[in-house]
Amino acid sequence: MTTAPLPDQLTATPTGDLEPHHAEMIAATLPLVGANIDAITTEFYRRLFADHPELLRNLFNRGNQAQGAQQRALAASIATFATHLIDPELEHPAVLVGRIGHKHASLGVTADQYPIVHTHLFAAIVEVLGAETVTPDVAAAWDRVYWLMAETLIDLERRLYADAGVGAGDVFRRARVVGRTDDPSGTVAVTVVATSESFPDFVPGQYISVGVTLPDGARQIRQYSLINTPGRGELTFAVRPVAATTDGPAGEVSTHIGERVSVGDLLDVSIPFGDLPVGSIGSRPLVLISAGIGITPMIGILEHLAIHAPGCPVQVLHADRSVRSHPLRARQQELMAQLPGGSLDLWYEETGDAADTGVHGGQLQMAGIPLDDSADVYLCGNNGFVQSVRNQLLDRGVAPERLHSELFSPDDWLLA
Ligand SMILES: Cc1cc2nc3c(=O)[nH]c(=O)nc-3n(C[C@H](O)[C@H](O)[C@H](O)COP(=O)(O)OP(=O)(O)OC[C@H]3O[C@@H](n4cnc5c(N)ncnc54)[C@H](O)[C@@H]3O)c2cc1C
Ligand code: HEM
């Protein structure tokens, strides 16, 4: 079975030390690099994609690039890692490294690609800060930070590939769609089986990468959380098509899957990855908090509980715009009915049409919701929702080590 490494396994990963003179140089230049890091990463991706257009067409998420989300994520991750290196007393950025490593592994990133990123990142640093600022000493210190981070990621990704029993980067399988269910919310549940080698098993809360070829020939990849129970050779994921708004076009891959994928079609699907630490799930009380399509990892966890730990106390809190937009609502209710120790609280911003009694109006607020002090709390939704609920829980004294989040967009707030 594929198991998600826990953050404390990562803290044992030797990252090497930053030599004192490099640490001084990083401490002195971190504010300057920090102040310019958006410009540096924007220039970095411009150079990277000019030299390797295939990476933007076929590997990177061009929706994230258009929105700048990935730039901010890369910037935040490097600055967070550098900050830890110059002050090892700070908490090890294990969650950050775990999240990036699992994402990279689900995309098949390999060690030989790190020098390419290095070349363009350092050219961008010199371009933005100027050669007079990036002296050889400054360059050497940041070079050391880059490679310490890269080696940490490469080491984790190597272990993930080895644990899954695949060659480095060999994560995609041709998979046939054997089921498609259209949920009343507009979300589409898709079940696939591999056409040749079978998929390794997964743990609840993990996700796959799905690659589709779009009408312009680009192969775009997105991640989708698994919502079925492991052990049956099938993978089921649920996709909520992202509609066009006045702020942006329709989502490329979700719309493609919603409009074009049907039973019998072939997709490129990765083996499962994801580091939500659910190793001992069911042995302690749980609180599952989600918003919108962030319900998917929670459905995976509830499916697991219904079979393996139906007596586990589980408190489910879900927020949505309305009863009609609530994805997988019927399945959530069926699963709750199989969990005698479970409770369900719903928040709908538009309550007028809610068929349920006891639905709260407005946005999810933790105030007044009793919580079990010993529970593990899992959070998933858009970044703003996760950050807001996380802050509310921390303010209430919930220990940070009991809070576990999954984000569906690149994480740009680790520095917060
Ligand atoms: C670990 C993980 C698990 C996930 N699990 C699920 C899941 O279970 N179910 C699910 O539905 N999703 C899930 N997601 C999200 C999913 O991976 C996709 O991000 C989502 O489906 C949207 O992809 P898309 O290709 O349709 O949209 P994209 O094309 O990537 O667009 C995303 C957003 O960017 C905007 N955008 C694109 N181009 C521009 C532009 N030029 N200007 C302005 N705005 C622009 C779009 O309007 C849209 O709002 C998960 C993500 C992660 C990381
Ligand atoms: C030290 C070097 C690197 C760092 C610090 C880094 C950092 C990151 C971060 C922070 C994310 C976003 C994770 C998330 O929150 O979802 C990410 C995603 C990603 N990385 Fe890296 N990365 C590095 C090297 C590489 C390399 C060598 C490649 C391969 C060319 C690569 C390809 C990608 C891709 C394709 C994504 C997903 C992009 C998206 O979905 O928008 N990265 N990386």
The CATH number linked to 58 is 1.10.490.10
| 234 and 107 within one domain | no
Which of the residues are catalytic? 114, 157
What integer pLDDT is reported at residue 16 of this predicted model? 59
Q: How far is CA 377 from the centre of its chain?
A: 17
Taking the centre of ligand 1 as the mean of its atom positions, its distance from the CA of residue 410, in whole angstroms, is: 10
- Pocket of ligand 1 contains residue 273 by CB under 6 Å: no
Q: Tell me the one-letter amino acid at 332.
A: Q
261 and 311 inside one domain: no
Q: Tell me, yes or no, whether 182 and 232 share the same domain.
A: yes
- Is there a single domain that holds both residue 311 and residue 369? yes
pLDDT in tens, 221-236: 999 999 999 888 899 9
Q: Could you report the per-residue pLDDT of 349-372, keeping only the tens digit for each?
A: 997 655 566 689 899 989 889 998
Q: Is 189 in the pocket of ligand 2 (CB under 6 A)?
A: no
- Centre of ligand 1 to C-alpha 64, Å, is 8
Same domain, 157 and 179: no
Query: What does R_g of the chain's alpha carbons equal in angstroms?
Result: 22
What is the model's pLDDT at position 309? 94
Which atom of ligand 2 is nearest the CA belonging to 48?
30
Q: Which of 223, 323, 319, 222 is nearest to 275 (CA)?
A: 223
* Protein residue with its CA nearest to atom 7 in ligand 2: 74
> How does residue 249 score in pLDDT terms, banded at 50, 70 and 90?
very high
Q: Can you tell me which atom of ligand 2 is nearest the CA of 222? A: 40
Q: What is the CATH number of the domain that holds 395?
A: 3.40.50.80
- Residue 212 lies inside a defined structural domain of this protein: yes
**Boundary (domain end) residue, out of 218, 236, 270:** 270
Residue 175 vs residue 197, higher pLDDT: 175
Percent of the chain with pLDDT strictly greater than 90: 73
Helix, strand, coil percent values for the chain (each to nearest 5)? 45, 20, 40
Domain boundary among 270, 298, 325: 270
**Number of structural domains found in the chain:** 3
Per-residue pLDDT at 278 = 77
Residue 319 placed within a domain: yes
C-alpha 112/C-alpha 104 separation (Å) is: 13
Confidence of residue 186 (pLDDT cuts 50, 70, 90): very high
Note the pLDDT tens digit of each residue in 267-287: 999 999 998 877 678 889 999
Please report whether residue 186 resides in a domain.
yes
Same-domain pairing of 38 and 121: yes
Per-residue model confidence (pLDDT) at position 3:
38
> Among 16-30, 80-94, 172-186, 375-389, where is mean pLDDT lowest?
80-94
Does the pLDDT of residue 13 top 50, yes or no? Answer: no
Print the domain residue range for 387.
286-407
Judge if 146 and 13 occupy the same domain.
Answer: yes
Ligand 1 atom index nearest CA of 256: 26
Closest CA to 175 of 212, 207, 202, 203: 212
For residues 304 and 11, the model is more confident at 304
Cβ of 70 closer than 6 Å to ligand 1, yes or no, is no
**pLDDT (average), residues 90-111:** 91
Q: What rounded mean pLDDT belongs to the chain?
A: 90
Residue 127 sits at the vertex; the CA angle it makes with 124 and 132, to the nearest 5 degrees, is: 125
Whether 318 is in the pocket of ligand 1, judged by its Cβ within 6 Å, is no
Residue 73 predicted with pLDDT over 90: no
Q: What is the pLDDT of residues 104-162, one digit of tens each?
A: 999 999 999 999 999 999 999 999 999 999 999 999 999 999 999 999 999 999 999 99
Is any atom of ligand 2 closer than 6 Å to the C-beta of 113? yes
- Let me know whether 90 and 192 are in one domain: no
Asked if 44 and 135 sit in the same domain, the reply is yes
**Ligand minimally distant from the alpha carbon of residue 252:** 1
Which atom of ligand 1 lies at the shortest distance from residue 410's CA? 53
Confirm or reject: Cβ of 209 under 6 Å from ligand 2.
no
Question: Is residue 239 within 8 Å of 258, Cβ to Cβ?
Answer: yes
Burial (0-12, 13-18, 19+ Cβ within 10 Å), 238: buried
Task: Check whether 11 has a pLDDT greater than 80.
Answer: no
pLDDT tier at 412, thresholds 50, 70, 90: low
Domain match, 55 and 157 both: yes
Residue 412 lies in a domain: no
Is 80 exceeded by the pLDDT of residue 295? yes
Q: What is the mean pLDDT of residues 56-78?
A: 83
Residues 109, 43: one domain?
Answer: yes
CA 33 / ligand 1 centre spacing (Å): 29
- pTM: predicted TM-score of the whole model, two decimal places: 0.94
Predicted pLDDT at 416: 40
Looking at the structure, do residues 40 and 150 belong to the same domain, yes or no?
A: yes
| Ligand 1 within 6 A of CB of 253 | yes
- Evaluate whether residue 58 is within a structural domain: yes
Q: Any idea which ligand is nearest the CA of 300?
A: 1
Q: Is residue 34 predicted with pLDDT exceeding 90?
A: no
In this structure, the residue with its CA closest to atom 47 of ligand 1 is: 248
Q: What percent of the chain has pLDDT over 70?
A: 93
Return the ligand number nearest the Cα of 60: 2
Q: pLDDT tier at 50 (50, 70, 90 boundaries)?
A: very high
Q: State if residue 78 touches ligand 2 by the CB under 6 angstroms criterion.
A: yes
Q: Which of 241, 270, 299 is at the close of a domain?
A: 270
